[in-house]
Structures are given as C-alpha cells and as structure tokens.
Amino acid sequence: MMAKYIAFTIVILAILFSKPSFALGKLGHQLVCQLAFEHLPKTQQNKIAGLLKTIPAKHKKLINNFNQQKANSAITFANACTWADTIRHLKKFKAYSSWHYMNVPRSQNKVNTDECQQNCLPQAILQHQQALAHTQSPYTWQQAQTLLFLGHWLGDIHQPLHISFKDDLGGNKIAFADTDAKCNNLHSYWDHCILYKGKETRTKWLSSLRSQWNKSPQPNWQKEQVWQWANESFQITTKSTFNYCHKDNQSVCRKPQGKITLSPDYLSQYQPIMEQRILQAAQRLTNVLAASL
C-alpha cells in the first residue's frame, strides 16, 4: 500500500513541476469547459454527467490533485478537462503527447487544410469528435476519455503557441531575461501568467466571459473548422509584437536570439486576445458537443 502511495505521489509531482509545458494552463481549460457545459441543453449536460461517473477512482484522484481538490471531491466537467495533462507521464497514454500541438515549417505563412495527417492537434479533434458522436449509453470509461480529450483539445488549439515551431518547442525554449519564477519562458507565460495577471481568479474570468457570450456567436460545427482555428492561432503567434517570430527578407520566421524581454504594454495588448481565444474555444466546444452528444 505504501509503495502504491509513493508511486502515485511521484506521478503527481512530475505533472505539477515538470518542464517544458505543452498544454494550455489549468485555468484556461477550466474556463473553456465550464462555459461550454453551462451553454449546453440539460439533456446533453446529463450525458456529460453520466460519462463523468465512469471515471475510475485512480483517475479521479489524478484530476482532483491536479486541480487542488480533495481526493474524493465530485468531478466537474471543468476540472475533468485537465485530465489529458494529468496522464502525460503515464506510459499507457504516452502516445498522446504530440496531440497537444502542431508543428509547422518556419517558412510557412499560414496553416493549410490537412496540414498534418495524424498525431497532431487538429487531427486529434477530428478523431475524438467522430468517436464521441458514436457514443451510446450505457456509458463507459473509454467513452469518457474521448469526451475529456475533446474538451482538452479545444482549449489547446486556441492557445497560439500550440501551433508553432518544433526547434524551440513552441516557445518553451524562448526564455525571459527578467520575469518571475512562475513563467520563465514564452510558452508558460501564455499557458499561465497571461491569465493570472489582472483578473487573477477563475470567478472574475467567468464573469467577464459570460458577459461576452452573445456578442460574437460561432457557426455550427463543421470538421473543416479545425484548420481555421489552427491558422488563427498561428497568425497570432507570428505577429512581430508577439515576440516569437522575427521574419527575415524571405519571410521566414527566425526565433529570437538569446533571452527576451516583453514590452511594458505586452499584457494590455495580448490579454484581451487570449480572453477572446478562451471565449472562442468555449463557444466552439459547445457547438462540437451539441453535434456529438
């Protein structure tokens, strides 16, 4: 028993403190899935609740520990959408590591349709959407995994640096010259710090996002949209002011030389953009789930 406890603790510590980061931060995923759940009809909310009940005790503990909840706390869809991050260090799920992002060539100016054929973020969305659409009760843990993956992927594809370049690990190797220890590179800044600075709390973020829900409705789900979502992120990533891509005379994105310093107005410029991406992710997840459950 003690050996199992120690092994479980090691997994949790590895999840919480390992670098580099490849996934939209905990708060971002919570916001996306909480808002999507709230805007689904009751029938589909009940289906989600039924799928959440199939989560095994071991994985409930992973989710609750990751979200700093008591081990036996009831699992919400908002917290469960972080599950794909909690399993990244489990051998059984190692194959899904590359599904959190998509790499593109540095010479590329936009994301094209069918940019990648497998094991990448847009294809992950397509695969799990199709699998969820064929889910029937009685529900199983395998079906619940499909739901949790799908909710997670919608968050990831809207974090701009998840559509980026391999040689710097999507900004994980773009270090800051001066910053706090929580976010010491550009990727972690976009995963975490850009959300926690200013509004700071989940409650404040939810209030702001709920007030904007009806201002920019999204079209119904079509599978071609995943490439549009990926391109939106890529176009943000490659803006000169983003401080990730410096284009040369051949319009090839070159990574910054050495450590970078963000401009004084970086947060005020880009936090509203990240807020828009969270809102879009939540609205689009709502439409995907409405078409799939």
Q: CA–CA separation, 98 vs 118, rounded Å? A: 10
Mean pLDDT of 102-123: 94
Listed by start position, the domains of the chain span: 2-292
Instruction: Check pLDDT > 70 for residue 180.
Output: no
Average pLDDT score over residue span 96-120:
94
Q: Please write the tens of the pLDDT for every residue from 150-159.
A: 999 999 999 9
Residue 283 has pLDDT above 70, yes or no: yes
For the chain, first and last CA: distance in Å? Answer: 39
pLDDT at 14: 38
22-79, pLDDT tens digit by residue?
458 899 999 999 999 999 999 999 999 999 999 999 999 999 999 999 988 999 999 9
pLDDT tens-digit map of 253-281: 999 989 999 999 999 999 999 999 999 99
Largest CA distance in the chain: 62
Q: Cβ of 131: how many Cβ atoms within 10 Å? A: 17
Give the mean pLDDT of 231-258: 93
- The CATH code of the domain at 2-292 is 1.10.575.10
Tokens coding 205: 């973020």
Across 200-226, average pLDDT: 94
DSSP 260: B
pTM: 0.91
Whether the per-residue pLDDT at 292 is higher than 80: the answer is: yes
